Amino acid sequence: MHKIFNLFYLLKTLGQIIGFITVAGIVRWQLLLAASILLLTVFCFAWAYLQAIREIKRVEALSKFSVLLKFKIKIIFLFIERSPIYSHLSTTLNGLTSIRAFRKENRWSEQFTSYLNDHSALWFFYLASSRAMALFVDWAVILYVVAITTTVMTSEGNGNDFSFVIFKINNLFFSYNWK
């Protein structure tokens, strides 16, 4: 259900962006140049953002383990990536009697704290990079709104068309959020 909502949101946003660019291009063809520069810049930063997020998630999931599954006489090895903090917690719960028997609680607690610190640092970096991308997109749209408003105010033309373009810009700006 969540994927369907994301697809709907993506298609709705793309439809609004394409509609706005079409309207702006009909009113004044120079606005297409500004829109193409904005879209190219946002897509380049979004690509860099996705590469960084993928790398952050890869570093977070450095721990790998294999699982044997029997499926019609064949044995399949699956490599499942999990965060070290979750693997450590699972191992601790499964071997709790052995840890207590050998009096290694402090060692396991220190190791868990270390994993927790690494996990928290990566999670904070993930959230900070996501917020930085949202801030960049917001500022890019604000600069685009300023450029279009300046172009509209300094040029000659039909006031109704220009007011419609400014209305569509505000509609686009307030309806689009980077999540």
Among 66-70, 89-93, 171-175, top mean pLDDT goes to 89-93
CA distance 44 to 40: 6
Residue 106 pLDDT class (50, 70, 90 cuts) = very high
Predicted confidence at residue 55, as pLDDT, reads 85
User: Could you tell me the residue ranges of all domains in the chain?
Assistant: 2-83+125-175
Q: Can you name the residues that pair with 75 across neighbouring β-strands?
A: 70
**pLDDT digits 0-9 by tens, 133-155:** 888 888 888 888 888 778 777 87
Q: Are 21 and 32 in contact (CB under 8 A)?
A: yes
Mean pLDDT of 97-116: 88
Predicted confidence at residue 4, as pLDDT, reads 74
Taking every pair of Cα atoms in the chain, the longest distance, rounded to a whole number of angstroms, is: 85
Residue 99 scores a pLDDT above 50? yes
Predicted confidence at residue 14, as pLDDT, reads 80
CA angle 85, 3, 42 (to 5 degrees): 85
Q: Are 115 and 88 in contact (CB under 8 A)?
A: yes
More confident: 170 or 110? 110
Contacts of 11 (CB under 8 A, 6+ apart): none
More confident: 73 or 173? 173
CA atoms within a 13 Å half-sphere pointing along the CA-CB vector of 135:
6
**pLDDT digits 0-9 by tens, 67-84:** 333 333 444 434 444 677
Contacts of 16 (CB under 8 A, 6+ apart): 171, 172, 175, 176
Among 13-22, 62-71, 169-178, top mean pLDDT goes to 13-22
Predicted confidence at residue 16, as pLDDT, reads 80
